[in-house]
Structure 1
Amino acid sequence: MRITGFRALTTVQEWGRAVGDANGVFADGVTEVPIVLVTTDEGITGVGMGSHVQLEAVFAAIEGEDPRSVTALYDRMQRQTFKAGHAGAVSGTIGAFDTALWDIKAKAAGEPLWRLLGGRDRAVPAYASGLDIGLDDEELVAAYQAYAERGMRAAKLKGGLDVERDRHRLALVRDVLADTGGVSRPGLMLDANECWNRKQAVRYVSELERTLDLIWVEEPVRRWDAEGLAAVGCGVRAAVAGGENLSGLEQFRGLLAAGALDIVQTASVWGVTHFLRVAALAHAHDLPVSPIGTHPVGLVHAATSVPNHLSTELQIIQPPVGVAVDVRVEDGAFVLGDSPGLGIVVDEDAVAACSARPTTVAYDGPGVRPERAGQRMPAAA
């Protein structure tokens, strides 16, 4: 079998509500979803979701290769881009191709990816994560009511700008999970998306912990600040989570050596091979790993095969426009199906016919760090 080509598509995720974090909000609730389809000479097509940056340059590393050599091809793609750097958006392109190759490999074997990777249990524990900072109280309760009805027992909220507002919102979600889900003690997490400095982080979280029990605080300071993350960990009761924006295995080394992370995270956009390697590194440090992402299906499959998986982020239940996925959400878990590969089917006609596009421009959304981030002086932080 040989790789013959690829097609790049872009569809959208329609959230039906505002989504965002401390850095910004997509007010219209429409976000783009880049898709890469990799074709072979045996008619098997693999699906990956991720960046479209430098597609041609990255594809040159795998064109004509046997897609079943996926882990070796992952390294070839990294070598292809090493001089300019394979981090950031380029790593997202590598991850999209990598995920598509795993899809092909499992389809060729006639098995779902979770089975091919050696998974035993098709049910993967999940937690709710609504990208919810732009919601009012009524909208917040409605959003997490839907998660609770799927059995979610833990939730992660976006916050970091107003400690009393965050306390109120966390309590609302706690009560929703308790009342609807029948959970006596729901798990609560807070994601600050790197909006604090070290002292702000400790003061802010310590204030919340006077009345709330947090499982973890996510990205309290900059993603690479090993000393700062370790200092926050020593100053609060909650665990410190991070790593979703680290796009190479080498970027985790200093953080783990410094004891900076209690929960090691990886983003679905970086691909399956990256996740498996980070999970192994975390396991060597006796740390749990937790996948992050809007569409984490590749990592949900991979999570079944690692011994230190904790829980996977569930952001939205319905798939993007023109995409169908053989996975359901029930009893607080992703439940994977038996379709070969990832179980993803892309309706290219439906994607082409979709006219919806985000109104929030790329340089004015949650992906842009605010000018005063980490330099504000809120009264309670």
Structure 2
Amino acid sequence: MRITAVTGHILSSPFTYGGPAGPGGNLHLRDIDTLLVRVETDAGITGWGEAFGFNLVRTTRQALTELIAPVCQGEAAGDIAGLMRRLQRRFHNFGRNGAVTFALSGLDIALWDIAAKAAGKPLHALLGGARRERVPAYASLLRYGDAGHVARNTAEAIRRGYRRIKLHEVDLGCIRAAREAAPAEVPLMLDINCAWDSVEQAVGFCRAVQGMNVRWVEEPVWPPEDFAAIAAVRRAGGTGIAAGECLGSPESIGTMLAAGAVDVVQPSVTKVGGVSAMLAVRDLAARHGAALVPHCPYYGPGLLASLHVLACAEVEEPLEYYFADLAAPPYPALIPRDGYVAVPQGPGLGLEIDPALLAGAG
């Protein structure tokens, strides 16, 4: 089975997120953009992947269509490991993170979708088999920067059935507002997006949120590659520490784990190298005794692939779900119900995008 075409397609949807009108979150998003990677084969099997993401999708698509797609023509779709290794080596001079790696990640997801469809099995069957029929989701709230908005959206997430809440807030008043709006047994996760420039600042923040039932503080210091600093925060801060979404390879994540930097590792399947990389990180996390909770604040095949990975995990961990309501979600079936997402059982990724949505893709 040979690859006959690799193309990129952008879905763009208006959204609301419980905040004021206008751009939302720390990325100042006006719409939610999803870059779909479509891989066609001479066997008539089509696979779908997703490459990161948001405001960067057009740059990533350019890397996909101009660099990667022409090289894939005629390659064996079933040789995922061999093809991905050749492509990574061929394009490594463009960096081991960023748009090229994001595009390769989308390609890898699509190839796994094809492999599972060819086998007539759901993706999770190729990853070790699902241990559960549904996966808990946590509400990943966008940044509001206003205690009232934080409290209101935390309460709304609880009303919708979520029992885990992530904030993208640094202000302690906003964090206290969420804590007061959620039942005491509901853990908070705090993604501060590398807010602090020093270990001392980050440790002070971590100590300030002790007693608030915080499972982890995410990316506590700048830059995200300063693993020694993250490890120092972990030793002194008194909270769990999570990181990994900004890293572009299993090797870099392995270095972070070896430094003792994190309790929770957060690879992003649309950034780190696709499903193949996620499996490598799964092994690394197990070796270092870290929990694997993927970063997946997106709505396309990347979210779906992350769901399959979590369905196979020995220890149940939650799926990140970006707390926004899209006018046209790629997969309505992935919207959490009572705090859970059902694991698809169809071949491949198990869900297909509405052809009407695809017809309007850019």
Is the structural similarity TM-score above 0.5? yes
1:125 corresponds to 2:131: no
Task: Find the counterpart in structure 2 of residue 102 from structure 1.
Answer: 112
Contact 2:164 2:188 in 1 (8 A): yes
Task: Find the counterpart in structure 1 of residue 100 from structure 2.
Answer: 90
Instruction: Output the CA distance in 1 between the equivalents of 2:47 and 2:359.
Output: 19
Q: Per-residue displacement from partner, 1:51-101 (whole Å, max 9, x unpaired)?
A: 324213223443222322223322222122123323222111011001111
The AA in structure 2 aligned to 1:98 is D
Q: What secondary structure sits across from 1:195 in the alignment? A: coil
1:332 corresponds, among 330, 336, 339, to 339
The aligned length equals 339
Task: Find the counterpart in structure 1 of residue 67 from structure 2.
Answer: 57
Q: Per-residue displacement from partner, 1:115-147 (whole Å, max 9, x unpaired)?
A: 33222313123211012335x445434433443
Moved more, 223-232 or 52-61: 52-61
1:341 corresponds to 2:351: no
Query: Structure 1 residues 284, 13: CA separation in 2 closer, same or farther (over 3 Å shift)?
Result: farther
Task: Find the counterpart in structure 2 of residue 148 from structure 1.
Answer: 158
Contact 1:59 1:77 in 2 (8 A): no
Task: Find the counterpart in structure 1 of residue 9 from structure 2.
Answer: 9
Following superposition of structure 1 onto structure 2, how do residues 150-169 of structure 1 map, counting pairs within 5 Å? Answer: 150-160=160-170, 162=171, 166=172, 168-169=173-174
1:246 corresponds to 2:247: yes
Contact 2:13 2:329 in 1 (8 A): no
Relative to the length of structure 2, the TM-score reads 0.85
Query: Structure 1 residues 320, 266: CA separation in 2 closer, same or farther (over 3 Å shift)?
Result: farther
Following superposition of structure 1 onto structure 2, how do residues 1-381 of structure 1 map, counting pairs within 5 Å? Answer: 1-17=1-17, 18-21=23-26, 24-26=27-29, 28=30, 30-50=31-51, 51-55=60-64, 56-117=66-127, 118-134=129-145, 136-160=146-170, 162=171, 166=172, 168-178=173-183, 184-197=184-197, 198-209=199-210, 211-221=211-221, 222-270=223-271, 271-295=274-298, 296-307=303-314, 310-316=317-323, 321=328, 323-324=330-331, 326-347=333-354, 349-353=356-360
Instruction: Output the CA distance in 2 between the equivalents of 1:341 and 1:233.
Output: 39
Query: Structure 1 residues 320, 90: CA separation in 2 closer, same or farther (over 3 Å shift)?
Result: farther
Instruction: Output the CA distance in 2 between the equivalents of 1:74 and 1:122.
Output: 30
Instruction: Output the CA distance in 1 between the equivalents of 2:294 and 2:252.
Output: 17
Contact 2:131 2:314 in 1 (8 A): no
Contact 1:279 1:308 in 2 (8 A): no
Query: Structure 1 residues 141, 351: CA separation in 2 closer, same or farther (over 3 Å shift)?
Result: farther
Q: Per-residue displacement from partner, 1:206-245 (whole Å, max 9, x unpaired)?
A: 1232x52311100001211111101111221111100011
The AA in structure 1 aligned to 2:330 is V
Identify unmatched segments of 5+ residues in structure 2.
18-22, 52-59
Task: Find the counterpart in structure 2 of residue 181 from structure 1.
Answer: none
Instruction: Output the CA distance in 2 between the equivalents of 1:354 and 1:230.
Output: 43
Contact 1:328 1:336 in 2 (8 A): no
Query: Structure 1 residues 304, 350: CA separation in 2 closer, same or farther (over 3 Å shift)?
Result: closer
- TM-superposed deviation, 1:248: 0.7
RMSD, matched Cα: 2.4
Instruction: Output the CA distance in 2 between the equivalents of 1:124 and 1:61.
Output: 37
Relative to the length of structure 1, the TM-score reads 0.81
Contact 1:264 1:282 in 2 (8 A): yes
Bigger strand share: 1
The AA in structure 1 aligned to 2:76 is D
Contact 1:46 1:100 in 2 (8 A): yes
The AA in structure 2 aligned to 1:225 is D
Query: Structure 1 residues 153, 205: CA separation in 2 closer, same or farther (over 3 Å shift)?
Result: same
Bigger helix share: 2
